[in-house]
Structure 1
Amino acid sequence: MTQLVIAFAGFGKSANRYHLPYLKNRSQIKVKMVYDHRFRHYHEQQDNLKASGVELTTDFTDILEDSDVQLIAITTPAATHYSLAKQALLHGKNILVEKPFCETAEQAEELLKLAKENSLIAMPFQNRRFDSDYLALKHVLEVGYVGEPLTIESHMDHFRPSEQFVNSDPINGQFYGLGIHTIDQIVALFGQPQRVFYDIRAQQNQGTLDDYYETQLFYSKLKATVSSGPLVATPYPSFRLNGTKGSFVKYGIDQQENDLKAGIMPDQSDFGQDAPNAFGHLKYLNGNGDWIEKDLPTPVGDYGRVYDAMYAAIIEKKSKLVTDQELLIDMRILEAGVSEQGPHVKEF
């Protein structure tokens, strides 16, 4: 099997939790080099990488000029994504960029154009398309259990009290950092909305940086609400779907997150499996007009499938997981959200 040789730019939580663990059991992908400007954290992981033959460097030029490297996964802070991605493309490297892909739709268009001109793949790391709760929702929609979808509510909430005071650019806020995931999930299912309502604010942060958002995406009959708050002690469902023939409710985050925090790795047989008491609950009218209620086993999520998709696009010349159109829709929705302060509506 042809190997895809990759390098990482960045060695923080993202690389060590959401990327590297999933590559250990993917022999078709070889990590050759990791760049970080300091390597201050994850010392045990550094030792493990070096022991396996991976080179660590504090000079980004090293991975740009390595002729073996075909793909650079960029997991550095968000404000650096555009600059590093552009450099990588100019050096003939395919790129997989952590969310948010960049700051503006104009920047995204420039990077996509540069990739196309050089026959390269440029794609955002939208790993939450492989969250188990999202896969459960997608299955319910594909089967058509609830009929025509009318409302979807999506929550990624936390209870993290803080007295921080942060003034910063929106790209560093919750809307760009987490909202991109929840927005992309809806865009992947339904495409571009007709209009979007925004409520983005600093709810507990005493500075200007947002830590709360509620965004409503309006389609023909469907309204999808995506929200995240920093002070939610009693959880909402991660997804609630209402349609013309029934409803589906799913509580609980993807178990990948909990397992990775506990040191359980993706190559273990029980990784990411949902407990039966966390299965989504479905209530719908069948063809005879009878109400049916049942719990649906949760599909097992796998963030590594983003890398499978990159392999397929680069080596096998297949279509990208996240299309250029979807990326640009995501970026325009983000950009419009922070284009003015206070609740507002934008037409698309």
Structure 2
Amino acid sequence: MSFSPIQTALCSFGMSGYLFHAPFLEVNSKYNLYGALERTKNEAVEKYPQIKTFRTLESLLADDTIELVIVNTPNITHYDLTKQILNAGKNVVVEKPFTVTVSEAEELIQLAKAKNVVLSVYHNRRYDSDFRTVEKILNEGVLGDIVDVTIHYDRYVPDLSYKVHKETPTVGVGSLYDLGSHLIDQALQFFGRPNAVFADLDYKRPNSKVVDYFDLKLYYEPHKVTLKSSYFVREPLPAYVIHGTKGSFIKTKADVQETDLQAGKKPESENWGIEPNNEMGLLHTEKEGKIIKEHIPSLKGDYMNYYDALYEAIRNNATVPVSGKEGMQVIQIIEAALLSDKERKVIDL
């Protein structure tokens, strides 16, 4: 069977393109980082001299060599850019959040189907070491029936972002979309679709006009999941606190990939995605009539697994990693949360 790398282009070369996409495309022989859209700058070609710079989306889409385009631009642009790329007959990876409304997501899913191309949402936190470890514990059933779950994604960032689009109060902006989409996707992966949602959204930073604090309750039967995020957490809490009828599991948010990428390390380098031993999760439960309390080694995290699976989806018609439908389900929860906060009530799904 012949091997053909996927010719790939980035829609921008900001932090996301520089950190989360280009390094993986560079070292994975299944892909060729062919080009990047930069309207005025030349940062991509300075970093990767072999790639082609496009000044307009139209010129990028007119290049028949390009097979896959990554939409890694501000949230509110995802729908329009993805629609244009799909209409050009190219495969698309869209950064989370997929879109800012469910109706936009539905339209893009149908368009991708009509064009017979792959559409995937980049929920990379599924490939974090901490998420994978918690998923393993849940799948093993060692906690018994789940009673209560809390998942945090906190930061200490009291100042407003210098990026104007992140602080402009428009639909799709704020931590519910940016960080909440990660947490919601993880909850959906762990437990499926909830029965109802309640949300408390707030603005905590001085002069903030966008949501920077949220507390979501996802109601399952019989347990509930709490998703929380604040920009005023200097001392981090455990990211995952899970209680069941037999025991508990507590785990920090300790995936090292983003930190290593920021330090200039390349994917597939030695010890890639391996957490420090002091970040192991604590399991306190009952097994075969005996009470155990032990630290559980973390599984390896690796965002490359996403791109390997995406290659199989594009080239060999395998299952798409993070489908458009899965991305849309996250937006459904976000829309319910926005309505819940507005009306101050539980929203049945």
Q: TM-score range by the shorter chain?
A: over 0.9
Task: Answer yes or no: is the 8 Å Cα contact 2:9–2:69 preserved in 1.
Answer: yes
Pairing 1:192-231 to 2, within 5 Å after superposition: 192-231=193-232
Q: TM-score, normalised by structure 1?
A: 0.94
Secondary structure (helix, strand or coil) at the match of 2:342 reads coil
| Structure 1 residues 177 and 55, CA gap change in structure 2 (3 angstroms) | same
Alignment partner of 1:33 out of 20, 35, 39 = 35
In the other structure, the counterpart of 2:157 is: 160
Output the amino acid matched with 1:208.
Answer: K
**CA apart distance, 1:48:** 2.9
Task: Answer yes or no: is the 8 Å Cα contact 2:160–2:208 preserved in 1.
Answer: no
**Counterpart-to-counterpart distance in 1, 2:281 and 2:65:** 45
Alignment partner of 2:70 out of 69, 73, 97 = 73
Output the amino acid matched with 1:218.
Answer: Y
**Counterpart-to-counterpart distance in 2, 1:195 and 1:56:** 46
In the other structure, the counterpart of 1:97 is: 94
In the other structure, the counterpart of 1:20 is: 22
In the other structure, the counterpart of 1:305 is: 305
- Work out the percentage of aligned pairs sharing the same amino acid: 32
In the other structure, the counterpart of 1:293 is: 293
**CA apart distance, 1:147:** 1.4
In the other structure, the counterpart of 1:255 is: 256
Output the amino acid matched with 1:347.
Answer: D
**Counterpart-to-counterpart distance in 1, 2:23 and 2:343:** 40
Task: Answer yes or no: is the 8 Å Cα contact 1:201–1:342 preserved in 2.
Answer: no
**Counterpart-to-counterpart distance in 1, 2:115 and 2:178:** 29
Q: String of CA shifts for 1:156-213, please: whole Å, max 9, x gaps.
A: 1111222679441141211011100110011122221100111111111424311111
In the other structure, the counterpart of 2:319 is: 319
Task: Answer yes or no: is the 8 Å Cα contact 2:72–2:94 preserved in 1.
Answer: yes
Output the amino acid matched with 1:278.
Answer: E
Unaligned runs of 5+ in 2: none
| Structure 1 residues 94 and 148, CA gap change in structure 2 (3 angstroms) | same
Unaligned runs of 5+ in 1: none
In the other structure, the counterpart of 1:49 is: 48
**Counterpart-to-counterpart distance in 2, 1:323 and 1:123:** 5
**Counterpart-to-counterpart distance in 2, 1:254 and 1:181:** 14
Pairing 1:232-271 to 2, within 5 Å after superposition: 232-271=233-272
**Counterpart-to-counterpart distance in 2, 1:253 and 1:123:** 26
Q: String of CA shifts for 1:101-125, please: whole Å, max 9, x gaps.
A: 1110000000000000111111211
**Counterpart-to-counterpart distance in 1, 2:119 and 2:346:** 30
| Structure 1 residues 326 and 252, CA gap change in structure 2 (3 angstroms) | closer
**CA apart distance, 1:95:** 0.7
**CA apart distance, 1:151:** 1.5
Q: Does 1:126 align with 2:136?
A: no
| Structure 1 residues 36 and 336, CA gap change in structure 2 (3 angstroms) | farther
**Counterpart-to-counterpart distance in 1, 2:76 and 2:40:** 17
Secondary structure (helix, strand or coil) at the match of 2:27 reads coil
Q: String of CA shifts for 1:225-280, please: whole Å, max 9, x gaps.
A: 11110001221101111111111111233111221222222131122221111111
**CA apart distance, 1:338:** 2.2
In the other structure, the counterpart of 1:140 is: 137
More displaced 10-residue stretch of structure 1: 84-93 or 231-240: 231-240
**Counterpart-to-counterpart distance in 2, 1:244 and 1:325:** 33
Output the amino acid matched with 1:248.
Answer: F
Task: Answer yes or no: is the 8 Å Cα contact 1:170–1:209 preserved in 2.
Answer: no
RMSD between superposed Cα atoms in Å? 1.7
In the other structure, the counterpart of 1:60 is: 57
**Counterpart-to-counterpart distance in 1, 2:323 and 2:97:** 15
In the other structure, the counterpart of 2:342 is: 341
Pairing 1:103-122 to 2, within 5 Å after superposition: 103-122=100-119
Q: String of CA shifts for 1:290-339, please: whole Å, max 9, x gaps.
A: 11111111111111222122111111101112234422221111122223
Count of aligned positions: 342
